[in-house]
Structure 1
Amino acid sequence: MTSATESLPAGLQVFERGWLSANTLLFTGRAQTAVVDTGYATHAMQTVALIDAALGPRPLDLLLNTHLHSDHCGGNAALQSRHPGVRALIPPGEAAAVEAWDEEALSFKATGQRCDRFRFDGLLAPGSEVVLADLPWQVHAAKGHDPHSVILFEPVSRTLISADALWENGFGVVFPELFGEPSFDEVGATLDLIESLAPSHVVPGHGRVLHDAPAALRKARSRLEGFQRQPVKHARHALKVLLKFKLLEWQSISREEWAAWLAATPYVETVRARFFHTSPLDDLAGEILDELVAVGAAATDGARIFNR
Structure 2
Amino acid sequence: MNGKHDRDDRRSDNLSDLPPETILETDEEMRRAQDAIQRTKPRSDHSRGGQAKETNASVFYRPTLRPPMPILKVCDDGKSTGEIVRIRTEHFLIGRTEGDFRFPNDPQISARHLIISSHQTDGSHSWSISDLQSENGLFVRVRKGLLQHNSEFLLGGGKYRIEVASNSNQSPNRRHSGGTQNWGSSLPDGTTTLTEVLSDGHGERIVLVKAGYWIGRDATCDIVRRDDIFASRRHAQILRSANGWTITNNKARNGVWLKIPIVNLRHGQECYFQIGEQRLCLSIGVDK
In which range does the TM-score fall when normalised by the shorter chain?
A: under 0.3
Q: Which has the higher Rg, Structure 1 or Structure 2?
A: 2
Structure in which a larger fraction of residues adopt helix: 1
Larger RCO: 1 or 2 (CA < 8 Å, sep 6+) = 2
Structure in which a larger fraction of residues adopt strand: 2
Instruction: Give the TM-score normalised by structure 2.
Output: 0.23
